[in-house]
Amino acid sequence: MPDQTGRRVVVTGANSGLGEQMALALGSAGAEVTLACRNVDKAQQVAEKIGDNARVAPLDLADLASVRAFADSFDGADVLINNAGVMAIPLRRTADGYEMQIGTNFLGHFALTGLILDRIDDRVVTMSSLMHKSARLDVDDLNWERRKYNRWTAYGDSKLADLMLALELADRLAGAGSDKTSLAAHPGYAATELQLHTESPVDWVMKLGNMTPIAQSAAEGALPALFAATSPHAANGEYYGPKNFGGMRGAPAVAGYRRAADDAELRQKLWSAAEKLTGVTVEV
């Protein structure tokens, strides 16, 4: 990682898992890191490991009022890493009534990005997942009001939506002649607590999976996002993930993704739906 002294980075969900490892690595490289988290107590413990160049800011992506409050007090950064998320949880709703996974993972980050993009000087990095390939994204029913809820499909939907956010933003930035860039990343199979909150027997399966040789550590899983956020070779519109074992582990490399993410009509429809649901118009 290049020296990050003098650069400011916001990492959402930096109180544990991948986000914690991103914050620690960036802080060690000299960056001023803002840990934007719902659990501020846990985030403060991470910030203390980093030192004086870390600060904690409350941010609950499942509450658009919290997103707006964060944006109102935001004074700028070089990089935004949209990392926070929930995975395969039972059907729940956000403070604004949206299905929790699409609401937290996608709509919250969409709103955050739109509200502070004018104060991000360099890059926006949005975390997707290998699970985006299992999505059955229905833009007309993002909130699972007509479909029978499936927690894994809902998670895949949110991660495909995140990838489409990153790619669409990249195209819009390029079209506007902006020097800013938008990139996406995924961690492969990283052993974190994210997989252990399904509140089902799958938790035990995932716990065992985290102990297999295929699973990377959280620090290794954070590498693609860190590459996207800091490397001078990371390019606008690229998607990075581990290069080995079908994208599950290894050093960062350009990753493949579903063709649906390049569907211009679907991306425009998703973008319009997100603006309507969040009340945030993204100015590029």
- Report, as residue numbers or ranges, the catalytic residues: 155
Q: What is the dihedral sign for C-alpha 105, 107, 112, 113?
A: positive
Tokens of 111: 């709103």
CA distance to 58, 75, 148, 180, per residue, from 101 (Å) = 19, 28, 15, 28
| Selection from 195, 173, 192, 191 nearest residue 182 by Cα | 173
The whole-angstrom separation of Cα 208 and Cα 204 is 6
Burial class (CB in 10 A: 0-12, 13-18, 19+), 5: exposed
Helix spans in the chain (H): 17-28, 40-50, 64-73, 100-101, 109-116, 151-175, 202-209, 218-221, 223-230, 264-278
| Selection from 203, 206, 205, 167 nearest residue 189 by Cα | 206
Tokens of 244: 């080995």
**Are the C-beta atoms of residues 115 and 67 closer than 8 Å to each other?**
yes
